A and B are shown apart, each in its own frame.
Chain A
């Protein structure tokens, strides 16, 4: 009976994931658009023997602490609070963290063209999960040398509809534009298909 209480908060959360490799600008982007300074929450994940009940530590498994940071944007007129959750960067354990992905509307995958490969796992993961996303290319040196098609190829993106945009995560307007590009993509996907 997953019900809201009678006097439930007037707004509901709208969850967006910000993913990409370590140092790619996730926390920076969240901070650029958030109305609060980004906060961090930790969770303990068991990385081996997942799905196996705890047997007093006899099992050969490792506990890892993952930290995600997040920010929020309250939109009273839309009746939602946008929560932006940044995936833990240093490890890939968040891929098994179902709770992080559950209910997410979409994602922004940040890419640093100097380390394209670092963002491949995120692209691969969201494509498999069919979570709509946009790729945000962070131009660390002020410019980045690749065309959208080259990036699409390097990241082995299979959906040609997935937008690729350039951004500077330190800029509020640039980060906002990335969010809006994601919203446009979500709107396109939600529209009935035309013949």
Chain B
């Protein structure tokens, strides 16, 4: 395993034997929020760097993790799929279409924006 330094290619294939989960990665859209979970002793340093970015109570979107690591979206989504499979992250899906049409929730978001900004 050679290090490629800070690049667009996480050392995912080396670390997973070339496999990655397609079933799980599809769940992780760019606006799914991610938070680290569990024990990560002995993991590859890039994995730990990702987990360090989203230690609870902090949760970051998949897109933000990619941006902060300097990776493209697709490799980040793949790595997160592996972390999810191993129980190393928790995830929360973005609001569903039903929720984004919920007047009570929309009104609360509006009020919070007006108050906070």
Q: Using a CB–CB distance below 8 Å, which chain A residues touch chain B?
A: 1-15, 33, 39-44, 65, 68, 70, 72-73, 75, 77-78, 80-83, 85, 99-100, 102-103, 105, 172-173, 176, 179-180, 183-184, 186-187, 189-191
The listed residue (B35, B99, B116) touching A73 by CB distance below 8 A is B116
Q: Does B12 contact A (CB under 8 A)?
A: no
Minimum C-beta distance from B29 to chain A (A)? 6
Chain B interface, number of residues (Cβ within 8 angstroms): 47
Chain B residues close to A by CB (< 8 Å) = 8, 27, 29-35, 37, 57, 59, 61, 63-64, 66-68, 72-74, 84, 89-95, 97, 99-103, 105-114, 116-117
Among candidates B32, B61, B101, B108, residue contacting A77 with C-beta atoms closer than 8 Å = B108
Which B-chain residue is minimally distant from A76 (CB atoms)?
B112
A-B contact count (CB 8 A): 152
Are A9 and B29 touching (Cβ within 8 A)?
Answer: no
Residue among A1, A41, A105, A191 with the highest chain B CB neighbour number at 10 A: A41
Closest to B84 in A: A5
Whole-angstrom distance between the alpha carbons of A44 and B85 in the complex? 25
Q: Among A1, A13, A44, A176, find the residue whose CB has the most chain B CB atoms closer than 10 A.
A: A13
Contact (A11, B59) CB under 8 Å given A77-B108, A82-B113: yes
